[in-house]
Structure 1
Amino acid sequence: MTEEPRLSEQEIIERLAPTLSRTTRIRAVAALLAGMAGTVFVSTLWWSEPGPLPGHTHLAFALFTVFCLLWTGYGGWLLTRRVPLFATDQVIAAWISLAASLATTAVVAVVAVQRGTGTGPALAVGGLFIAGTLALTVRAHARRAALLRRMRELTGRDHR
C-alpha cells in the first residue's frame, strides 16, 4: 500500500475552513448591494430636497450615507478575501451595526428634543437596537477568540 502524503497543520485548517463559503459570499454580495443601494437612495434623497435644510438634517443624511458606504466597503472587502478570516468579518459587521445603532439613536433623540416630542420612545427603540447589536458584537468577538485559540492549539502559532 502506498502511504498518503502528510498535510501540514495549515493545509488541514485551509481544507476545513473554505476561504469564502457560499454563505459568506451571499452575505458579502448582500452587504455590497444593500450598501450601494442605500448610498444611492440616501444621497439622491439628500440632494433632491428642496430649499435649505437644517444642520441636523445634513448631519443625519451624511451619517446615513457614511454607514451605507461602510456596508458597501465591507461587502467589497469580504468578496476580495483569499485567506481564512477566523470570524474577522463578523466582528467588523458587528462594529458597523453597533456604530450605526448608536448614531441613529443619537440623531433621532436630538430631533425629538428639538421638536419637543419627548425622547422616551426614541431612546427606548434605539436602546433595543443598541442592546441587540452590542450582544452581536460580544458574540462575534467571542467566536473569533475561540477560533484563534483553536488554531493556536492546532498550529502552535499565533495568527491575529
Structure 2
Amino acid sequence: MTPEEVLARLDAPLSLRRRVGYLAVGFTGLTGSGLIGLLWATEPELPTRTSVAFAALVAIGLCWAAFGGWAVTRRTPLFARDRVVAGWLGVGAWLAFSVGALVISVVRHEFEPVLLGMVLVLGVLAGAHLRAARRARAALLRRRTALAAPGEGG
C-alpha cells in the first residue's frame, strides 16, 4: 500500500458495520430511556430515590441515543473520536452509578461489599476503555501526520 492509499483509508467515513452498530446503540438508548420514562410516568407514588434513579437512567439512555445519532451523521473521518466519546460516556455513567451507590450506602448506614466490588470493577472497565480509546486515537493521528508529511513514506 502506498502512503496515499493508507491516507485515503484513514480519511474514510465510518464503515457500514460501524454505522449499523451506532444505530443500534442509539435505538437501544432511546428505547431504554423511553421504557423507563413510561414506567416512571405511570407510577406516581414512587419513593424519591427511585425517581432519582429513573431520572439518571433516562438521562444516560438519552446520552447514548444522542451519541449514536452523532456518530452516524458524521460525514468526516473520526479518527477514533467516536471511541473516545463513548469512553467518556461510560465513565460518566459509572460516576452517576457510583454517586448513587454512595448515597444509598450513606442513607442506609450499611456497607455493602458486593456493591463496592461492582463499583470498582465497573470503574476499572470504564477507565480501561477510555484509556484504550484515547491511545487508539493518538496512534491514528500520529500515523496520519507521519503519512501526510512530505518526503516520509511511512
Select the residue among 79, 82, 98 that pairs with 1:105. Answer: 98
Deviates more, 1:127-136 or 1:16-25: 16-25
Select the residue among 85, 88, 99 that pairs with 2:81. Answer: 88
Using the size of structure 2 for normalisation, the TM-score is 0.85
- Provide the residue aligned with 1:19 in structure 2: 13
- Which consecutive unaligned segments of at least 5 residues does structure 2 have? none
Which structure has more RCO (C-alpha within 8 Å, separation ≥ 6)?
2
Q: Select the structure of larger CA radius of gyration.
A: 1
- Which consecutive unaligned segments of at least 5 residues does structure 1 have? 1-6
Q: Shift of residue 52 of structure 1? A: 5.2
Equivalents in 1 of 2:126, 2:46: separation in Å?
34
Deviations 1:85-130 (A, max 9, x none): 0000000001101110121122123223323442322121111001
Equivalents in 2 of 1:148, 1:17: separation in Å?
11
Select the residue among 119, 127, 134 that pairs with 1:126. Answer: 119
Check if 1:43 corresponds to 2:37.
Answer: yes
Deviations 1:46-94 (A, max 9, x none): 222232532x333222211111111000111111111110000000001
Using the size of structure 1 for normalisation, the TM-score is 0.82
Matched length: 149
Runs of 4 or more, structure 1, over 4 Å off, are none
8 Å CA contact 1:109–1:122 kept in 2: the answer is: no
